[in-house]
């Protein structure tokens, strides 16, 4: 989840709302909900909402239908999301909230693949920082939700094109091998 802040506390934007990210800090604006392929680090899905929309309610909109496993932070830990993944044949590695560790879903946390997938979740944070710092998602540039959706999609396209170029250039120039006599 990324946040677009509106410059004014009482903006004339009819769609911007007050929301927060935890820790008591609030802002007026929008949120971006994103899905990332952890292997290629390509953003695969994105959705923009007013800032008052909780992240966990948007999993179904950013869920990649071909995913085999999904990991996410504690904001996505809900029975609804676990059932959605289970019903779609997708394995859940969503980090459980502290109060749910005794929940039947909590017994799976010892599985090695879950720990490995949860470590891969860290790969989304640098991508979020890139979108904010290099592609203008730190603040809302336009008014209204439809225009903010366009802003998000343009930023995602720019980030993905950069990543694809990097992946292609790495494939064209594999690392040099050290050769020697034995």
Across the range 165-173, mean pLDDT stands at 81
Tell me the average pLDDT of the chain: 82
Bridge partners of 49, per DSSP, are 31
State how far the alpha carbon of 128 is from the alpha carbons of 3, 117, 120, 147, in Å. 9, 18, 14, 20
Q: How confident is the model at residue 144 (pLDDT cuts 50, 70, 90)?
A: very high
Residue-range domains of the chain with CATH: 2-172 (3.30.420)
State how far the alpha carbon of 174 is from the alpha carbons of 9, 38, 113, 161, in Å. 51, 21, 29, 20
Best CA proximity match to 107, nearest among 92, 85, 122? 92
- Residue pair 35/64 in contact by the 8 Å Cβ criterion: yes
pLDDT at residue number 3:
67
Spatial separation of the C-alpha atoms in residues 97 and 140, rounded to whole Å? 31
State how far the alpha carbon of 138 is from the alpha carbons of 24, 39, 66, in Å. 19, 26, 30
Task: List pLDDT tens digits, range 35-81.
Answer: 888 888 899 999 999 999 988 888 888 888 788 888 888 888 888 99
Residues 6+ apart with CB under 8 A from 72: 59, 81, 94, 95, 121
Question: What H or E segment, with its residue span, contains residue 44?
Answer: strand 42-50
């Amino acid at each position: 989840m990324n946040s677009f802040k509106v410059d004014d506390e009482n903006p004339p934007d009819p769609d911007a709302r007050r929301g927060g990210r935890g820790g008591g800090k609030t802002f007026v604006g929008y949120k971006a909900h994103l899905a990332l392929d952890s292997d290629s680090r390509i953003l695969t899905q994105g959705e923009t909402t007013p800032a008052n929309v909780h992240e966990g309610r948007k999993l179904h909109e950013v869920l990649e239908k071909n995913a085999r496993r999904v990991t996410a932070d504690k904001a996505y830990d809900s029975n609804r999301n676990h059932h959605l993944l289970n019903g779609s044949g997708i394995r859940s590695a969503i980090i459980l909230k502290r109060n749910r560790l005794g929940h039947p879903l909590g017994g799976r946390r010892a599985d090695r693949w879950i720990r490995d997938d949860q470590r891969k979740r860290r790969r989304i944070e640098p991508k979020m920082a890139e979108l904010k710092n290099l592609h203008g998602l730190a603040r809302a540039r336009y008014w209204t939700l439809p225009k903010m959706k366009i802003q998000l999609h343009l930023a995602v396209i720019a980030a993905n094109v950069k990543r694809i170029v990097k992946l292609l250039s790495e494939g064209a120039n594999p690392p040099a091998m050290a050769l020697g006599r034995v």
